[in-house]
Structure 1
Amino acid sequence: MSNANNAAFVTPWKDLWNGDLAMTDKIIAKDFVAHAAPLTGSGSDVIRGREALNGWVSGIRSVIPDLTFTVEVGPITDADHLVVRWRAQGTYRGGLPGTGPESVGRKVNFTGTDTLRVADGMLAEYWANADSLLFFQQLGIKQLQ
């Protein structure tokens, strides 16, 4: 794929994370693999397939329903990859281990970098790097349970 073709994935990728799960069938390969450290510190660091990606996005949005992602840097592309630096903002609704009622209603604002591999005209692999420490600090989490 060309750099321009890979760059065209930025908006639908952002839209997917902003809650438009219909994007998944349009831009995500059936054998998609994501690599990300789990927020709770336990569980697999690999997510496989479209359904699992939608579950991940839905799970994050269940605790921060108004979460909005914007792209701050990029796209940076080559023949097989797309990289963007993003910012996410929203209001915490509750539900993460280690948070109490005092965390509900807190605003969160954190950043991250997504590296994606493009294959056969679809997003095939994803490496997530988010500032989870800042996210936890904003919620007042001192220790995961």
Structure 2
Amino acid sequence: MTRFAISRRAAVVTLAAATLAVSVGTAVNGATPTATAATQSSAQVRVHAHGASPSVQRALWENWAKVWNGDYDRAPGVISPKFRVHVSLLDGSPDTAIRGVEGLTAFVKQSRTLFNDLKFTTQVGPFIDGKHVVGRWIATGTYAGGIPGATAPVGTKVTFTGTDILRTEHGKVVEYWLNTDTIALLGQLGVGGK
């Protein structure tokens, strides 16, 4: 297994944690973002790296959400090569396998294989404080199978929430803290159920 490969089990477990986080969607506080923020290029984001303005940080958040929603081509413009994630994986495996653009992209892809039509939407935020961007998201999707211990049938609709904390440098995400309502997700999948 390469250093970027994440075991299916780790992805499954983390999915409850990370996929989710991920974060985010295209609506901010129920409003559609402006075309300027939503379409701002990664080159424009890089120009304003230090002390990035709220509009630049908001555009970064929107592009982060698009990566989590399956637009992997945006990842190099959003994720720093120094990227690292902080998450407690349910299977106890270290989060150190999720590093850089390739690591996060592999993790997101593996997480998305567990849920058809997975969609992240911003529920609250993003809140911007210097180099930190924080937002709460809600995710919806259809269970595709593959989570150990799940008794829910394939095709079960799920909804779960989480919060992403991003630290940025030079217009890219360098650190990511993920907090997902794993209990709610696993409950909907019948993991450890009655």
SS in 1 for 2:167: strand
Unpaired segments ≥5 residues, structure 2: 1-51
Is 1:104 the counterpart of 2:162? The answer is no
Is 1:131 the counterpart of 2:178? The answer is no
Q: Which has the higher helix share?
A: 2
Q: Is the 8 A contact 1:36 1:128 kept in 2?
A: yes
Equivalent-residue separation in structure 1 for 2:176 and 2:125 (angstroms) = 16
Equivalent-residue separation in structure 2 for 1:22 and 1:29 (angstroms) = 14
- State which of 52, 74, 80 in structure 1 corresponds to 2:103: 52
Residue 116 of structure 1: aligned partner: 166
Unpaired segments ≥5 residues, structure 1: none
Q: Is the 8 A contact 2:85 2:99 kept in 1?
A: yes
Is 1:83 the counterpart of 2:134? The answer is yes
Indicate the RMSD between aligned Cα atoms, in angstroms.
1.3
- State which of 35, 54, 72 in structure 2 corresponds to 1:21: 72
Equivalent-residue separation in structure 1 for 2:153 and 2:189 (angstroms) = 5
Q: Is the 8 A contact 2:135 2:165 kept in 1?
A: yes
Residue 57 of structure 2: aligned partner: 6
Equivalent-residue separation in structure 1 for 2:65 and 2:170 (angstroms) = 20
Equivalent-residue separation in structure 1 for 2:60 and 2:117 (angstroms) = 22
Write out per-residue CA displacement over residues 47-70 of structure 1, whole angstroms, 9 at most, x where no aligned residue: 211111011101111110210000
Is 1:93 the counterpart of 2:151? The answer is no
The TM-score with structure 1 as length reference comes to 0.91
The structure, 1 or 2, with the larger RCO (C-alpha pairs under 8 Å, 6+ apart) is: 2
List, as ranges, runs of 4+ consecutive aligned residues in structure 1 with deviation greater than 3 Å: none
Equivalent-residue separation in structure 1 for 2:56 and 2:65 (angstroms) = 16
Write out per-residue CA displacement over residues 73-108 of structure 1, whole angstroms, 9 at most, x where no aligned residue: 1110011100010000000010011124x4311111
SS in 2 for 1:34: strand
Equivalent-residue separation in structure 1 for 2:139 and 2:153 (angstroms) = 17
Is 1:33 the counterpart of 2:90? The answer is no
Equivalent-residue separation in structure 1 for 2:127 and 2:118 (angstroms) = 24
Of 112-121 and 45-54, the range deviating more from structure 2: 45-54
The TM-score with structure 2 as length reference comes to 0.69
Instruction: Tell me which amino acid in the other structure corresponds to 1:109.
Output: T
- Give how far 1:36 is off: 1.4
Q: Which has the higher strand share?
A: 1
